[in-house]
Copies of this chain bind each other. A is one copy, B any other.
Amino acid sequence: MNVTLSEHSPSVTDTQPAQQAKNVLYAQAGGVTAVINVSAAAVIETIQQHPEKFGKTYAAINGIKGVLEEELVDLTDISTATLAKLKYQPGAAFKACRFDLDPLEHNPEQYRRVLEVFKTYEIGYFLYNGGNGSMVTAQKVADYCCRHGHPVTCVGVAKTIDNDLALSHCSPGFGSAAKYLATSFLNATLDIIAMHETSTKFFVLEAMGRNTGWLTLATGLIKDVIPDAPIIILPAERPFNEQAFFDKVDHFIATQGYCVCAVSEGLVKENGDYISIANIEHTHERDYVQLGGVGATLAHLVGKHLNSKTHYAIPDYCQRSASHMVSQTDWQMAYDAGKEAVNAAFRGEHGVLPIIELTSTEPFEYRFKTVELNAVADLENTVPDHFLTEDGMDITQAALDYLRPLIQGEHGAPFKKGLPDIAPIAFTLVDKQLPAFKALK
């Protein structure tokens, strides 16, 4: 794969490049991926190549929350062994927060605190590894610091399993989750083929994806193995039409004896309501409606419709933390995302995000280019119409051609004593220099 430097610099910090090395702060935010720590390793390794430019490397624990609370670790002298571990570690080694800063006008104290921490630790570069939403936070922080006399070069590091990152060909983290889901679905389909004549005739797998159906679509990759697989794909983008769905189930049962289905957790009815909302009567403190259960709902509906046994699987977090099922392509993209973020910072690009641009489909080649954080923040890249058949319930050849390269190659964690050789990594917090600050009320 061909990874080049960016072609343009959308926004360069007003100040001249620092005469002396400034420190770097890296943090992770939002839902984790199987390869987010690969990006962390790349950030650290690339920084190490430029001692004239970059001073100490810090990571915040729990993203921006750790910045506020001065929960930092010093990675400047990280060991080779720990770096090697990061390259296989699922979850977020530095902990990822679901926590955003309040709007400046509502809570200026937060912003003053971030600035204070940045000044104290002489942070000149802020690298935020997150999804679309996290990019807003990164941009707000950097803007505030710049306006208050402490210019910080702020660069995003892309990650999300949802593949909803706007402008980018795809998102680091997606390929591995897609590989996990397609593999699981292929295995389960062989199970159903084996059993359906006297047992389960309908199986549904519920994939993550609140607003986008990319992960659901990825199960369609089993068509590369079983071209006529009786599969129904229900992405979040298309409202659920119960009659059309039942008709398709009936058709497959009649012609092939079974039907396998993949559904986005965020599947909605025609009126926009979610098909299934878990724990509806209590939402957690951040007032984030929790989804989950549409797989059970569909299995139940089809069971009644067919008067037959049905089954459903909900991989949930297992699909985004599968250390043993990492796509080599995705791993490399995650590494490149971290490396290119540091390269952008090196060039003094501020308020940017390196994204993936396809340069060749055959062979599959891409490069990174930077776009403004504002251009992608809070946008969502949904599954395009031509990736779904006319009935909206099946994958097209174009979608298969798009998805296939992203799951190529195996870069799973090595096994040790029967399990993936992964474990929580202990980092020592730096001694706090500032008064305590509580991020959560």
Binding site for B on A (CB under 8 A): 28, 31-32, 34, 62, 65, 89-93, 95-99, 179, 182-184, 186-188, 190-195, 197-200, 203, 205, 221-222, 224-226, 278-279, 281-282, 284-286, 288, 290, 292-293, 295-296, 299-300, 303-304, 307-318, 320-325, 327, 404, 407-410, 415, 417-420, 422-424, 440
A317 touches B186 (CB 8 A): no
The 6 closest A-B pairs by CB, nearest first: A91-B190, A91-B194, A313-B316, A284-B309, A92-B194, A407-B418
Which of A197, A312, A322 has the most chain B CB within a 10 Å cutoff?
A197
Contact B440 A418 (CB under 8 A): no
Copies in the complex: 2
Q: Contacts A195-B95, A419-B407: A309 and B290 contacting too (C-beta < 8 A)?
A: yes
- Cα(A139)–Cα(B98), bound, Å: 58
CA distance A203 to B290 in the complex (A): 14
Q: Given A307-B284, A418-B408: A194 and B318 within 8 A (CB)?
A: no
Residue of B nearest to A409 (CB): B418
Q: Specify which chain B residues have a CB less than 8 angstroms from the CB of A221 in the assembled complex.
A: 418-419
A-B contact pairs, 23 of them (CB 8 A): A89-B190, A91-B190, A91-B192, A91-B194, A179-B418, A179-B419, A187-B422, A190-B424, A203-B316, A226-B424, A278-B296, A279-B303, A282-B303, A284-B308, A284-B309, A285-B307, A292-B299, A296-B296, A313-B314, A313-B316, A327-B418, A404-B418, A409-B418
List residues of chain B with CB within 8 A of the CB of A309.
284, 288, 290
Contacts of A278 in B (CB 8 A): 296, 299-300
In the complex, what distance in Å separates the CA atom of A407 from the CA atom of B324?
A: 15
Docked complex Cα distance between A261 and B414 (Å): 25
Q: Which chain B positions have C-beta within 8 A of A424? A: 190, 193, 226
